[in-house]
Structure 1
């Protein structure tokens, strides 16, 4: 029996779309290839015998709108972090910049003065004020039909902020506004999370990444989900099931056709389902592969000869020639998304001591802990990685979930003083897998991450690493290839591809509901509903919400 909607992929966006559509009375079938739902927004016991449920892939929440929480009746609690960030000076780790949200003007100025950046204190607060106003105006539009660029600029109502964030390279703006290399690096890092680019690149990839990092929730705050990321996806799953959506795990979609036919396998058997609309909660590149497989299926049913996949077609100026496999693979990689990070989870017996004795570890690790992220270090790291090397020192950002939310730990473990750390290493592009091989790269990156940590600590991080039931250190490293294998994120790209501006260009077609909501593909019955949609990326549910709104608008007309 046909379904109104079939959703490919059971990540948080797919669950969001399923909940909205089922609540609106549509028959919904969601197909997830893994044995559980949630995609990257899951919690898991990463270490044998250690009763801690870590947010294994994604870890903080900023872009999840309160509208979605309220609409779906979700019981999601988020903890606001008092400290925005701590950044030790790599040249003298005995001092660092602690940004305290509760500090008055005098205390804030003193914090900047500690790292010889007193002249940047006023500029920091002025720029933060501008990005906050940007967030207040733009964030509510993410769950509405797309504005045009001109409409968005008019809504922002601040030509300088618009120009600096949207039209000028981020590096150029940071250099103009801030004097301190350390302060410049803290600001710049928001443009480089999962994004491999030069800060001065006129393509403005860093600007788009930066924009999404400063507008979340209308404030730019990044909050800790109580209970871990699994609590977020668990609530979305509950809402979808209670609304009547059918959610199937261990169901791998292998082909999609533009007319809504979806082929999948489950329990070793092949199945075909037809839908009025197909929502793709997968990367656009993955959808392209499924459509290519669907085209082959359709051709076979029509008894037509199958067509070779596009990247395997022989070509030459004089006649057909075989394309060497290595060339074909390199061309494929150039056309696909590329992630640029390493994710490391650690379990500690206690927080490590800092070289900076004036800042308590409980304060330093309570916000975003920046290590070796001077702007000059970020620039050097990019240049090193672009040449095929592993940056040394590796720029890293650290998050300690358990300082804000100890509920992810067994009570006995929490009482012992144990903590989790998540480390996010920057400028580690997927191309390094090809050079080193995944196992060697994983080992080298683990070494680089630990060395970067040790450079600012008063004791080796190894001295406070917990061990699992077999006596192994509790450290888990996820490369871009590991993400590709586990989550089907091509190239380990956490955004499913290049980020887009959260509006439409003035000449963009906006004739259909799918176009107006930023979820259109070349096929009217197939819509994007994940991070690859306009305004997608991060744990937000926005892609799922907007795809659902497009379906409802189209079918209500």
Structure 2
């Protein structure tokens, strides 16, 4: 036994760093073990293309759920930029027109609804936005507090009909009742399908939970761009954790955890063991069970493909009424009508890649050109991040390279269906002459980030409340970080209220430790 610490944290993703910062600041001795040669997990920036001076947010890319409370309490020097445009969605039946939701110009948004024949949905869209903000204002302040009971959360929302729509009935019921246009319905539905393989009509309500987390961030639901890239967020968390006295050891792969707090790890070819008064697991619960020597159970399944591109300029659109700067200035939805989303789910369930593939695109460099060198930015170059839905891990072949090529082709075909020029013609080239495009499958995420099945949420999301009859006897139960072992707590995306770049899992694990001590 080489040492003992009050806290040993397994995994150096952003939640592990958050927990380390809070606990070290509270005077606890903290050791964080990270298998990679750097911390950050999915929340990193990387030079993805050799010889090209661009720092891409390689995996995670936007921030909504990171509470201002955590930023303020830890003194994080990070800047999040709001995007003017909410979304643009070409009409797949007629890509020369589309829906542009302009948060800075209500009249322009109304005119855009009119152009796609959705004039009756304008007022419904505005009312729906107001309703979601009310739910967000009621529920988001609770995510950094002990879990409320279901009945308490319902009282906080204060609207039984809205509660039933969001929490008790399938998301598709609300969408089809509130909106008449298939494209508008799809724009709403996508927030229930990010990384979640399901139908919006499924009685499991998996889409509802995903939708809720995508809608309540900081009481507004806005998704902001981290200035300097996602690595800037991780860099600040690492800085404050180290400044508080946390010991961070990279290149340390945890190989086993015992319920009594012993953690075995491998570093520099040596086998080491450390004991923690508490062990905080910033890994998926499925992974933790394996480290404990327990039967891991059913493996989680991610359902997305991520494609990063670097372009010499933004592409021209088939829609002449919308500039590329506006279209790519928010979330660019492609082939995501509700009919296409539901059809894509059925196709993927049958074992095939959906055609066309539902996708959404983000252009970080329009809001934050600092991720490009001044010289590269001056040329008009831009990054694009494409997130393809309904590509579950079950579609991955034993030859992941073949899967990667198929999914990349499906993404590019979907994107080209709404452009006036092939996206391939705009790709910059890296040092060796290869085009600046990289594709990450669920298998790639598992290999690089230890996400089982490539599941970005570490498993199915949970409601941000306890059922009225659920136990709350321990601090870990009240904070939503409990495991079957008293010394071991979850502190990552697999905790209650986990998922996304939020720091909430790390904060709540730290609070459970401090309350329980």
Normalised by the length of structure 1, the TM-score is 0.92
Q: CA deviation at 1:356?
A: 0.5
- Among 96, 102, 105, the residue aligned to 1:103: 105
Q: Relative to 1, partners in 2 of residues 1:246 and 1:310: Cα closer, same or farther, differing over 3 Å?
A: closer
Q: CA deviation at 1:463?
A: 1.1
Task: Give 2:7's aligned residue.
Answer: 5
Task: Give 1:357's aligned residue.
Answer: 320
The CA deviation string for residues 97-142 of structure 1, in whole angstroms up to 9 with x for no partner, is 00011113x4332110011000111111111110011011101100
Task: Give 1:374's aligned residue.
Answer: 337
SS in structure 2 of the partner of residue 67 of structure 1: helix
Q: How far apart, CA to CA, are the structure 2 residues paired with 1:464 and 1:109?
A: 32
Task: Give 2:203's aligned residue.
Answer: 202
Task: Give 2:248's aligned residue.
Answer: 247
SS in structure 2 of the partner of residue 344 of structure 1: strand
Q: CA deviation at 1:501?
A: 0.2
Q: CA deviation at 1:83?
A: 0.3
The CA deviation string for residues 488-539 of structure 1, in whole angstroms up to 9 with x for no partner, is 0000000000000001110010011100100000000000000000000000
Task: Give 2:472's aligned residue.
Answer: 510
SS in structure 2 of the partner of residue 2 of structure 1: strand
- Among 495, 504, 514, the residue aligned to 1:533: 495
- Among 347, 356, 370, the residue aligned to 1:384: 347
The CA deviation string for residues 203-241 of structure 1, in whole angstroms up to 9 with x for no partner, is 000000000000011100000000000000000000000
Q: How far apart, CA to CA, are the structure 2 residues paired with 1:470 and 1:357?
A: 36
Q: How far apart, CA to CA, are the structure 2 residues paired with 1:439 and 1:237?
A: 34
The CA deviation string for residues 139-167 of structure 1, in whole angstroms up to 9 with x for no partner, is 11000000000000000101111110101
Q: How far apart, CA to CA, are the structure 2 residues paired with 1:117 and 1:99?
A: 13
Task: Give 1:171's aligned residue.
Answer: 172
The CA deviation string for residues 336-393 of structure 1, in whole angstroms up to 9 with x for no partner, is 1000000000000000000101100000000000000010000110000000000000
Q: CA deviation at 1:439?
A: 1.2
The CA deviation string for residues 306-364 of structure 1, in whole angstroms up to 9 with x for no partner, is xxx758xxxxxxxxxxxxxxxxxxxx6xx110000000000000000001011000000
- Among 376, 382, 387, the residue aligned to 1:424: 387
- Among 441, 458, 462, the residue aligned to 1:479: 441
Q: How far apart, CA to CA, are the structure 2 residues paired with 1:470 and 1:265?
A: 35
Q: How far apart, CA to CA, are the structure 1 residues paired with 2:309 and 2:108?
A: 33
* Structure 2, unaligned runs of 5 or more: none
Task: Give 1:409's aligned residue.
Answer: 372
Task: Give 2:50's aligned residue.
Answer: 48
Task: Give 2:147's aligned residue.
Answer: 146
Q: How far apart, CA to CA, are the structure 1 residues paired with 2:5 and 2:432?
A: 48
The CA deviation string for residues 1-38 of structure 1, in whole angstroms up to 9 with x for no partner, is 31000000000000000000000000000000000000
Conserved 8 A contact 2:364-2:383: yes
Find the structure with the greater CA-based Rg.
1
Task: Give 1:446's aligned residue.
Answer: 408
SS in structure 1 of the partner of residue 192 of structure 2: coil
Q: CA deviation at 1:271?
A: 0.3
Q: CA RMSD in A?
A: 0.9
Q: How far apart, CA to CA, are the structure 2 residues paired with 1:554 and 1:173?
A: 41
SS in structure 2 of the partner of residue 274 of structure 1: strand
Q: CA deviation at 1:399?
A: 0.1
- Among 30, 50, 63, the residue aligned to 1:28: 30
Q: How far apart, CA to CA, are the structure 1 residues paired with 2:289 and 2:158?
A: 39
Q: How far apart, CA to CA, are the structure 1 residues paired with 2:501 and 2:74?
A: 16
1:59 aligned onto 2:61 = yes
Conserved 8 A contact 2:289-2:295: no
1:545 aligned onto 2:493 = no
Q: CA deviation at 1:438?
A: 1.2
Q: How far apart, CA to CA, are the structure 1 residues paired with 2:200 and 2:479?
A: 30
Task: Give 1:464's aligned residue.
Answer: 426
Q: CA deviation at 1:56?
A: 0.1
The CA deviation string for residues 391-431 of structure 1, in whole angstroms up to 9 with x for no partner, is 00000000000000000000000000000000000000000
Q: How far apart, CA to CA, are the structure 2 residues paired with 1:227 and 1:471?
A: 27
Task: Give 1:273's aligned residue.
Answer: 274
Q: How far apart, CA to CA, are the structure 1 residues paired with 2:65 and 2:369?
A: 23
Runs of 4+ in structure 1 over 4 Å off: none
Conserved 8 A contact 2:462-2:496: yes
Q: How far apart, CA to CA, are the structure 2 residues paired with 1:248 and 1:108?
A: 50
Map 1:292-371; keep pairs closer than 5 Å. 292=293, 310=295, 335-371=298-334
Q: How far apart, CA to CA, are the structure 2 residues paired with 1:339 and 1:478?
A: 12
Q: CA deviation at 1:437?
A: 3.1
Q: Which moved more, 1:109-118 or 1:6-15?
A: 109-118
Task: Give 2:260's aligned residue.
Answer: 259
Task: Give 1:326's aligned residue.
Answer: none
Conserved 8 A contact 2:334-2:359: yes
Task: Give 2:456's aligned residue.
Answer: 494
Q: How far apart, CA to CA, are the structure 2 residues paired with 1:423 and 1:18?
A: 32
The CA deviation string for residues 435-475 of structure 1, in whole angstroms up to 9 with x for no partner, is x6311110001100110010000000011111111111100
Q: How far apart, CA to CA, are the structure 1 residues paired with 2:78 and 2:508?
A: 20
Normalised by the length of structure 2, the TM-score is 0.99
SS in structure 1 of the partner of residue 274 of structure 2: strand
